[in-house]
């Protein structure tokens, strides 16, 4: 704390509180600008232009191209893209349920589980429900050829956010290219997963999904807090859908959108700086640094 603010007449406790406020307010300003907005190059689509209901149709409402889905004790709901993709930018603006949401997952993700059950690939953005005194956790994850076969190998990185995701819509996106996967929040890269080998990178076509469902067994503090249906319904809101990429039937010459302003290559130096800021301040779990994990199963870490 600079001595400028701790003047002689100020109580030490006041100085400490002032220092805490300044640190907190500094973080609350959000990350440095990434200098580029990949989403600005991609046109929005309505829900019906890009997706269809997959399950729980009675818990889904479409209004002027936006989507509301909800979970209660009878069912949740999920949706699926009209086409599978082999690369691309996939995003939506989402607004989360406030209050008690423990055990509930609200998600946007890529998967080919329906095509390869028990041996599928997946790229996840999942909001892990929480109790009112704690922030939401945004979990990013990558699976390669394996869930449902008893050998679940996740590559989880978990974040808190520099804003309250229940107050307003924010944009969340996955950019999947042949060389890397980038997770973005309001166009700020928060995670980059690079292709180091075919064995550690998803290469088969995937569909785009979203859902709200009960994951009480693990979602909140490893299952410590369960879904409590006295707080139902648990609502997920989606709008400003963006899908742009190479479908499973696109020619080999097709190229997905770029993450960087140069139009080729990976993130710019400014984007990396913003990502590093997020990871310094808001990363709460990284599978690469978990001493309980068997890292021979994730050789890229």
Q: Which residues are catalytic?
A: 122, 126
Q: What's the CATH number where 156 sits? A: 2.60.120.200
Q: Evaluate whether residue 27 is within a structural domain.
A: no
What is the pLDDT averaged over residues 78-88? 98
**Least trusted range by pLDDT, from 57-66, 91-100, 138-147, 275-284:** 138-147
Predicted confidence band at 21 (pLDDT cuts at 50, 70, 90)? Answer: very low
Strand partners, 2: none
Q: Which residue, chain included where needed, has tokens 């999904």?
A: 209
Q: Evaluate whether residue 59 is within a structural domain.
A: yes
Compute how many other C-beta atoms are within 10 angstroms of the C-beta atom of residue 270: 15
Model confidence pLDDT, tens digit, residues 175-200? 999 999 999 999 999 999 999 998 89
Distance CA(219)–CA(217), nearest Å, equals 6
DSSP at 204 = S
Q: What percent of the chain has pLDDT over 70?
A: 88
Distance CA(180)–CA(129), nearest Å, equals 28
Distance CA(210)–CA(141), nearest Å, equals 14
Residue-number span of the structural domain to which 222 is assigned: 38-297
Q: Evaluate whether residue 99 is within a structural domain.
A: yes
Number of folded domains that form the chain: 1
Distance CA(168)–CA(153), nearest Å, equals 33
- This prediction's pTM: 0.89
């Amino acid at each position: 704390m600079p001595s400028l603010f701790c003047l002689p007449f100020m109580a030490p406790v006041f100085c400490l509180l002032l220092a805490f406020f300044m640190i907190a307010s500094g973080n609350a300003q959000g990350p440095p600008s990434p200098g580029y907005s990949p989403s600005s190059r991609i046109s929005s689509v309505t829900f019906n232009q890009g997706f269809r209901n997959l399950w729980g149709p009675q818990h889904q409402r479409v209004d002027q191209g936006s989507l509301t889905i909800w979970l209660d004790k009878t069912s949740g709901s999920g949706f699926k893209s009209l086409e599978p993709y082999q690369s691309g930018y996939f995003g939506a603006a989402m607004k989360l349920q406030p209050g008690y949401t423990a055990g509930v997952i609200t998600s946007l993700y890529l998967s080919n589980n329906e095509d390869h059950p028990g041996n599928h690939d997946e790229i996840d953005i999942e909001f892990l429900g929480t109790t009112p005194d704690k922030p939401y956790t945004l979990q990013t994850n990558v699976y390669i050829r394996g869930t449902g076969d008893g050998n679940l190998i996740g590559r989880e990185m978990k974040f808190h956010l520099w804003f309250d995701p229940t107050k307003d819509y924010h944009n969340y996106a996955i950019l999947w290219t042949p060389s890397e996967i980038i997770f973005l929040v309001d166009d700020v890269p928060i995670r980059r997963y690079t292709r180091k080998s075919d064995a550690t990178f998803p290469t088969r076509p995937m569909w785009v999904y979203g859902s709200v469902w009960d994951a009480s067994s693990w979602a909140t503090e490893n299952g410590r807090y369960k879904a409590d249906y006295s707080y139902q319904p648990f609502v997920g809101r989606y709008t400003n859908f963006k899908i742009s990429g190479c479908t499973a039937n696109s020619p080999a010459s097709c190229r997905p959108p770029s993450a960087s302003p140069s139009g080729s290559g990976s993130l710019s130096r400014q984007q990396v700086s913003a990502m590093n800021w997020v990871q310094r301040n808001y990363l709460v779990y990284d599978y690469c640094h978990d001493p309980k994990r068997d890292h021979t199963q994730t050789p890229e870490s």
